[in-house]
Amino acid sequence: MAELNERARTSRVHAGLVAESGVELQDGTTAGVGDLVITRGNQRRLRTTDGNWVRNGDTWQVTATHNDGSITVTSSGRDRDTSVPARSIRLDPDYEASRVWCRLLVS
């Protein structure tokens, strides 16, 4: 799966849809601004801007990467009713290293 994600990501980078640089995730793939990722674990201590917690299976778009290895993500809308406003959170490197996986979708 990681190999397919990396191939899809390379295509998106060449098309200018995502940033080439980013943060390395648990599966060895890179997540940069514009990439779609999925959280793979519930974490009630991590609260989004609307007060909800990070859930297993939520999908997000990376909106920023940080020097400390964390990423800021905004809900992609694929996991919730589209009438729900976007929510965002900065995921720390410890959570992201074990519980964030690339889910790169080619449009």
The per-residue pLDDT for range 7-16, each reduced to its tens digit, is 888 888 999 9
pTM across the whole model: 0.80
Any domain includes 22:
yes
> What are the tens digits of pLDDT across the range 22-72?
988 777 788 899 998 888 888 888 888 888 888 888 888 999 999 988 899
Domain count, the chain: 1
Any domain includes 31:
yes
Question: Which pLDDT score, from 0 to 100, does residue 87 have?
Answer: 85
Question: Which pLDDT score, from 0 to 100, does residue 62 have?
Answer: 92
Question: Which pLDDT score, from 0 to 100, does residue 106 have?
Answer: 43
Any domain includes 23:
yes
Which residue, 44, 62, 49, is CA-closest to 103? 62
User: At 107, which helix (H) or strand (E)?
Assistant: none
Any domain includes 51:
yes
Any domain includes 52:
yes
Any domain includes 107:
no
Any domain includes 50:
yes
The whole-angstrom separation of Cα 38 and Cα 2 is 13
Question: Which pLDDT score, from 0 to 100, does residue 94 have?
Answer: 78
Which residue, 58, 66, 82, 62, is CA-closest to 74? 62
Tokens (6 digits) for 42: 């519930």
